[in-house]
Amino acid sequence: MASSNPLNELARYNRWANAKVFAICRGVDEFALGAAAPGTISSVEETLKHLALVEDGYASMILGCDPSQGHASRESFLTSYLGHDLEWFADRVADVDREYERLTAEADPAFLDGELSIPWFAFPVTRGQGMLQVFSHSHTHRAQVMSTLGDRGLAVPDMDYVQMLQEERGAR
């Protein structure tokens, strides 16, 4: 049965769906990953890196940390972070997504309702709203990547939530 915690279910689905997308992209040649892809950030690779950056950054802020801590500037942080290969991003997203699952499973309403200040927005949101933003943001970019890959002739799986449930239950 599904969890009675919808935010935790979204976190579980987000982890599952991200793992699927990164697994598919492991089988795509580097040229295709880096090629211009209208409707994405610029390419499949850049879109996946952006997805990871946002998930990672929000997780840090939700936990009260500065995502660029230890770097001289935001620019040096971005250069360092985005300089990794796609395999590193796949591993990093998996780690961050497990953290979201833990947070959503353990968080009490007071934590989720606590204020989250996002430097690039002129208004506060709650931590729970920040997590919803992460999951919806990642969903958007996964859809862009899958659409691009499908348009390029690759077979892409159904990524609905019920597909995750079906896999978990071993159903057909």
pTM of the model: 0.93
Domain annotation covers residue 18 = yes
User: Which residues constitute the domain of residue 75?
Assistant: 10-169
- Contact residues for 73 (Cβ-Cβ < 8 A; gap 6+): none
Residue 1 placed within a domain: no
Q: What is the largest CA-CA distance in the chain?
A: 52
- Residue 43: φ, ψ to 5°: -150, 170
CATH number, domain of 87, equals 1.20.120.450
- Cβ-contact 145, 47 below 8 angstroms: yes
Does residue 67 fall inside a structural domain? yes
What does the pLDDT look like over 95-138, one tens digit per residue?
999 999 999 999 999 999 999 999 889 999 999 999 999 999 99
Residue 150 placed within a domain: yes
State how many domains the chain has. 1
Q: Does 24 map to a domain? A: yes
Q: Is 115 helix (H, G, I), strand (E, B) or coil?
A: strand
Whether 25 maps to a domain, the answer reads yes
Residue 4 lies in a domain: no
CA distance linking residue 163 with residue 140, whole number of Å: 18
Whether 104 is covered by a domain: the verdict is: yes
Residue 3's pLDDT band (boundaries 50, 70, 90)?
A: low
Using the predicted structure, report yes or no on whether residue 171 has a pLDDT greater than 60: yes
Confidence (pLDDT) at 172:
65
Q: At what angle do helices 6-26 and 161-169 cross, to 10 degrees?
A: 80
Where does the pLDDT of residue 81 fall: very low under 50, low under 70, confident under 90, or very high at 90 and above? confident
Bridging pattern class, strands 115-116 and 125-126: antiparallel
